[in-house]
Amino acid sequence: MIPGKTRDRVEEVVMKVEIVCPSCGAESLLLRKPEYEGLKKVGETLACASCGHTFASEEDVPYKEHAGVQVFTEEDRSQDVKVFEKDEKDRLCRYCANYVVNPFTQWCGRHKKEVEATDTCGAFERRKESGEGEENEASPL
Residues of the shown chain interacting with Zn ion in the complex, contacts defined by CB under 5 A: 21, 23-24, 48, 50-51, 53
Does residue 131 come out as left (phi exceeding 0), alpha (psi in the -120 to 50 range) or beta?
left
Rounded to a whole number of angstroms, the minimum distance from the CB of residue 64 to Zn ion is: 13
Rounded to a whole number of angstroms, the minimum distance from the CB of residue 15 to Zn ion is: 16
Q: Which is nearer to Zn ion, 26 or 81 (CB)?
A: 26
Distance of CA 50 to CAs 14, 18, 25, 28, 29, Å?
Answer: 18, 11, 9, 6, 7
Q: Which is nearer to Zn ion, 46 or 48 (CB)?
A: 48
Rounded to a whole number of angstroms, the minimum distance from the CB of residue 88 to Zn ion is: 44
Contact 95, 104 (CB under 8 A): no
Rounded to whole angstroms, the Cα distance separating 141 from 109 reads: 14
Q: Which is nearer to Zn ion, 22 or 133 (CB)?
A: 22
Rounded to a whole number of angstroms, the minimum distance from the CB of residue 70 to Zn ion is: 22
Contact 63, 19 (CB under 8 A): yes
Q: Which is nearer to Zn ion, 51 or 117 (CB)?
A: 51
Rounded to whole angstroms, the Cα distance separating 132 from 56 reads: 72
